[in-house]
Each structure stands twice: as structure tokens, then as C-alpha cells.
Structure 1
Amino acid sequence: MSDFFSTLASRARKEKFAIDPDVPKAYLLRFFAGKVIDLLRGILVFRRLNARIFVGRKTAILCTSKIRTGRFIKFASECYVDALSRDGIHLGNNFSLGRGASIECTGSLATLGKGFSAGNNVGIGSFSFLGCAGGISIGDDTILGNFVSMHSENHNFEDSGVPIRLQGVTQQGIRVGNNCWIGAKATILDGAEIGDNTVIAAGAVVTAGKYEGNAVYGGIPARKLKSLIA
């Protein structure tokens, strides 16, 4: 039975995928039955038959008219996605958003945010938060661990005579390249530009600046730990 479901998964993902033969049959049946329900839920939410969008239970997706997707898109259970923004949300093929994760594209109705884009084969871990008011873009084949947070907006606080909440914000945006791995509980702040083939260690805080590719960064604030070029 695992071979049958492996074939189905490989065809859907358009790349080879093998299910461990030790996975119990009852688990497989329940898992794929759940995916069928998620697919039906995706059709109801997005009104699209050919995109293969899976939406988990208790997931809220707002402003679907601003969402453009490739094929095989997975929103796990209890996610929150608000696409209200100038540019909306653009997702490549084989995108997944983990359980309890959030994508929020606008911080205030007074000023629309920029939005979010992700390339092909991007995975965002459970309970991650992406604040996309200043814009966040993620390249192909990049994966984010659990509890990763990205904040593409900063509050101004220079005037001590004015409440911080009334001083406005600055937005530079966040850009993450292709084939990157962002470790669990890492924080990416506004103005960060992360190059291709980069690893961000778990718990790191990546502040504004350019981070060259083919390297590992870690710490608070994040600094280069080693090169990935032999």
C-alpha cells in the first residue's frame, strides 16, 4: 500500500517521493482521507479546481482575490493568512504552510502593506509568523523551521515627546534567496537580504543588512560562522 500512495504523492509533487514501508496502513488511509477533505475545502475557499490547494481545518484565509498560486499548495490546520495588501500573495508550486503559522500582509488598514511572494518548493514551519507589511520575498527551494518570525517593518521612536505608536513606521522589506535553510526560532528583521545557499542557525537574530550567500550565520545579532564553499 505504501508503494501505491508513494506513486500518488510523487505524481502530485512532480518529484520522486517514497513513503517509509513501516508506516501502518491505517495511518496512511487516515492521512490521505484527510488530504482529500483538505482538497475539497481548498476548492470551496479558492473556487479553483485545477490548482490543487489543500486547506486544513480551522484555517482562516482572508482576501483570496489577492492570492495567486501555482499547483500543490498546502495550508495546514489552524493557519491564518491575510492577503490584503498592494501586491498580494504570490506562491509558486509545491508551497506548504505549517500548522498554526501566520502570514499577515498589512499591519493597519490606514496603510496597506506590500505583500508576500514565495518561489517553488518553499516550506514554512509550524507556528511561524511572517509580517509582510514592508514586503517579504523567498526564493526557490527555501525552507523555514518551526517558530521562525519575519518582521518587514520597524516602528520609529526617535521623538521622546511623541508616543511610539504615533511616530509611524519604516519599511525596507526582507529578501531571502534560493536554497536557504532558516533554523527554528530564528528572527529575521526588516532590511535583511539573505543570499542564495545560506543557512541561518536556530535562534539567530538577523538584523538589517546584506548577508552573502554560501555561508552559515548564527548568533544575536547574526554573524558569519563559516563558508559553505570548499
Structure 2
Amino acid sequence: MTTEERLKNHFSQKPHIPDTAYVANEAVLIGDVMLGEFASVWPGCVIRGDINFISIGARTNVQDGTIIHLADDYGVEIGNDVTIGHGAIIHACKVEAECLIGMRATIMDGAIIGRNSIIGAGSLVTPKTLIPSGSLAIGSPAKVVRQLSEEEKANIKNWALKYVKVAAAHKAKFQSG
């Protein structure tokens, strides 16, 4: 499929935003974007599904200023209960469930972040890198430095659940009828 055909196909689609999700008024979602139940997208985010698809899981929070985009060859898949820190760049990659992507981290084309992993703030995950499940990866380029403890894994899930509550409060205050 040519880029022009991809644009026509994906631009014809509108973002799917369930009633339980929160999308800040200052966020921009374009094209083939699907949010899961209770997901949240905060001010200043740009999520652009113009040439491929973007899928964001249930209870996942995409914090302020994050950019999510894709490529002809790779869409974006983000699992359930993921926290994406402020100002991150998520480009044409897969982030499995229950991960924490640190503030200002960048994840590039074809990378896969395994379940229950943390990518440290400011880290760069280079194209086609595989971060194994349960890892802490930091640096530029990001390297696995150790496996996460069970407590750290639980904290990732708890952080996502906390953001569900925060999003509900914001939705009630700023987007009620």
C-alpha cells in the first residue's frame, strides 16, 4: 500500500474513545486511534494515527506532552495498565502490559518493551530493540541493567490504577455536562 493509500484509509477513521476514557481538551487524537476502557490522555499529547493504527490499552495513562506516532511498516500497540511519563516519544513500537515508560524517554520503530518493564526517564530505546519482560532499562541507547522485583512490578500496576482515579476526577471537574 502506498503512503497516499495509507493516508486515505487511516484519515477516514475517527478515534475510538470509550465513555470511560478521559481525553484532556488540550490533547489531539487524529485518525486510526483506539483507546481502551478507563485510558487517559493528558494535556499537550499528540496521538497521530494517520498512516497506520494506534491501540492504547485499558487503564493506560499517556501523560502531558507525549507524542505517539507510527510508520508505514509499524503501528503502535500499547498494552493495559501502562504509564507513559510526561514528554515521552512513542514511535512505531509495541509496549506490552504493565510497563512504565519514564519521562522524556523515546522508543523507536520496531522496538518491543516486554511486560512488567520500566524504561528509565530520558532513555532512548533504539529501533528493533527487544527489552525482555520484567526488565529495568536505562540510558542512551537503553540497556537492561537488572530485573525488577515483585514489589516494583506491583507498583507499576498501582500507578496505572491511581491514574484511573485522577482521570475520573479531572473528567468530572472539566468535562461534565
CA contact (8 A) 2:33 2:48 kept: no
Deviations 1:103-160 (A, max 9, x none): 1122xxxxxx1110011100001001011233100011001010000222xxxxxxxx
Map 1:63-212 to 2 at 5 A: 65-83=13-31, 88-106=32-50, 113-133=51-71, 134-152=74-92, 174-207=93-126, 208-212=128-132
Q: Using CA pairs below 8 Å that are at least 6 residues apart, which structure has the higher relative contact order?
A: 2
Deviations 1:164-218 (A, max 9, x none): xxxxxxxxxx110010000000001001001000000000000122110101000
Which amino acid in 2 is paired with 1:129?
I
User: How far did 1:77 drift?
Assistant: 3.0
Deviations 1:24-56 (A, max 9, x none): xxxxxxxxxxxxxxxxxxxxxxxxxxxxxxxxx
User: How far did 1:65 drift?
Assistant: 4.5
* Bigger radius of gyration among the two: 1
2:52 partner SS? coil
- Unaligned 5+ runs, structure 2: 1-10, 151-177
Deviations 1:40-83 (A, max 9, x none): xxxxxxxxxxxxxxxxxxxxxxx684323434111113211111
Matched positions, count: 138
CA contact (8 A) 2:115 2:134 kept: yes
Counterpart Cα distance in 2 of 1:191 and 1:114: 13
Taking structure 2 as the reference length, the TM-score comes to 0.72
Please say which of residues 67-76 and 197-206 is displaced more in the overlay. Answer: 67-76
Counterpart Cα distance in 1 of 2:66 and 2:35: 17
Which amino acid in 2 is paired with 1:120?
A
The answer on 1:220 being equivalent to 2:140 is: yes
- Unaligned 5+ runs, structure 1: 1-62, 107-112, 153-173
Q: Give the root-mean-square deviation of aligned CA atoms.
A: 1.8
